[in-house]
Structures are given as structure tokens and as C-alpha cells.
Amino acid sequence: MKISLLISSLPTQNTTTRMRVWRSLKASGSAILRDGVYLLPISHSEKFDPIANDVISEHGTAYVFHAEQPSNLELAPFFNRKEEYDALYKQLTELRDRQAKDEKKELLKQVRKLRKSIDALVEIDYYPDETQAQVLNELSSLELSIARQGEANEPQAIQAHIQLLNKSNYQNKTWATRKRPWIDRLASAWLIKTFIDTSPTFIWLETPSDCPKDAFGFDFDDATFSHINHWVTFEVLLYS
């Protein structure tokens, strides 16, 4: 396996450029081997090019090398993101604790900011582990919880495995969900009609208890298809 190295130096007096280059290196997700020597997996080596060009344009020196990974060099520890994920997980937990106090609008604003930060971290997490999965699961769960805050009859997720189903058993069927559909129900209905049932009939229920016994219910508690783990109904249908 190959690795990419950036070796660079800048004039000591150019503080502004140093800060800009430091931010670019941080955004690239590169690891520091020592002062002025940075490391990336070869698959992301292109991220060094604009940084090297910036350094050179400011009368510094920059060289990008590609080399075989030494057999005694374990790369994953250099790119460990646990500390950053832990900090974001703490923010998610704090936001969840504020759900009962803050306005939904403010909660949505804050969770979007966290989504942006987490997505940026995932993009430079070159050796993801269970820490990333834990944060993403908590984020999805919190987003869903905030989105359905104040909504009536929103389903509660169950802990289960999604079973693979035979599409031929779901043709010309009646599908039932709650009235006043939100995005998950609309997307689920589109998925059913487009990819699952070639000739579906949809029923929009006043309450989940109105669901006919011969209909496939979706997106309410005890429905045939609803939330499982951190997946919403659309995803459950998609993966079934």
C-alpha cells in the first residue's frame, strides 16, 4: 500500500500564510509525522496539491512524495478521530437533554450545525471504526426525534434486524399510512409505487387503529413497515 507525504517549510515571518496552510492541512485530514512533514493515504493525495502550491506561491518550499508504506508503520493510529467524535457525541447528548426546554426551531438549527460538523469529520475519517458509527447513529436518532417533536402518532423505533423480502409477495396490495403525510411517509409511498408494488392502492388513515387487517401498514407503531433501530420507514422499505 502506498502513502503520500508532504514536506514543506515557510518563511518564519509569514504568520498569516502559516495559519492558512495549517487550516488547509487540518481540513485535509492529514496526519503530522513531525514538524513540516504530513501524511495522507495515497487515495487522498490530491489534497496535498493545492496546499503545496500555496506554500510555493508564498516563497516557501513544498514537495509531495508517494512511497510504499513501511511494513512496520501502522497508519490507522495517525488518523484516529476518537477525540473529535467524543466531543461531537457530547454535543449531541447535551442537545438531546435540551429537547424538553428549547423551541423546535432552535433544536433543528443546532442539529443541522452538528450534522455539518459530523459530515465534515466523516469525510476525513480515513480509518473509520465503531466510534464513527456510534456518533452517526446518535445523530440520526436525534434528528428524527427532533423532527417528530410535537407530531401526533409518530412511530417509535424498535430494535430489530431488517428482513429481506420477496417483492412478488407485495404486488397489487393495499398500503395504509397516516393522513397529513410528512417526508418519510411521502417518500415511502413513492418507493412502494416506483420499485415495490406495480399496482398499489393507498389508504390514508385518520388514526393507525383504522388500518384494515389485509393492508400493509407503514410508518406507524405496529405497522408492517416502520422505524427500526436508526432507520426510518423509507430506509426499512429500501433495505427489505
**Any domain includes 105:** yes
**Any domain includes 157:** no
The pLDDT mean for the chain works out to 92
Cα–Cα dist 89/156, whole Å:
22
Residues 27, 13 within the same domain = yes
pLDDT digits (tens, 9 = 90+) for 48-104: 999 999 999 999 999 999 999 888 888 899 999 999 999 999 999 999 999 878 888
Residues 59, 85 within the same domain = no
pLDDT digits (tens, 9 = 90+) for 188-229: 999 999 999 999 999 999 989 999 999 999 999 999 999 998
**Any domain includes 162:** no
**Any domain includes 63:** yes
Confidence check: pLDDT of 150 > 70: no
**Any domain includes 161:** no
Residues 182, 227 within the same domain = yes
Residues 187, 130 within the same domain = no
The pLDDT assigned to 152 comes to 62
Confidence check: pLDDT of 153 > 80: no
Instruction: Count how many domains the chain has.
Output: 3
Residues 179, 231 within the same domain = yes
**Any domain includes 206:** yes
Q: For the residues 118-124, what does the mean pLDDT come to?
A: 96
Cα–Cα dist 169/225, whole Å:
14
**Any domain includes 44:** yes
The pLDDT assigned to 42 comes to 94
Percentage of the chain surpassing pLDDT 90? 74
Cα–Cα dist 200/202, whole Å:
6
Element of type H or E holding 133: helix 130-147
Residues 178, 122 within the same domain = no
Residues 87, 125 within the same domain = yes
Domain end point (choices 29, 45, 78):
78
Measured in degrees and rounded to the nearest 5, phi and psi for residue 144 equal -65, -40
- 26: Cβ–Cβ under 8 A, 6 or more apart, which residues? none
Confidence check: pLDDT of 47 > 90: yes
Q: Hey, what amino acid is at 77? A: P
The one-character DSSP state at 240 is: -
Give the range of the structural domain holding residue 191, as residue numbers without chain letter: 167-239
Q: Hey, what amino acid is at 43? A: S
Residues 68, 93 within the same domain = no
Confidence check: pLDDT of 29 > 80: yes
**Any domain includes 159:** no
Q: For the residues 38-53, what does the mean pLDDT come to?
A: 96
Confidence check: pLDDT of 139 > 80: yes
Domain end point (choices 32, 56, 78):
78
Confidence check: pLDDT of 148 > 80: no
Percentage of the chain surpassing pLDDT 70? 98
Residues 57, 107 within the same domain = no
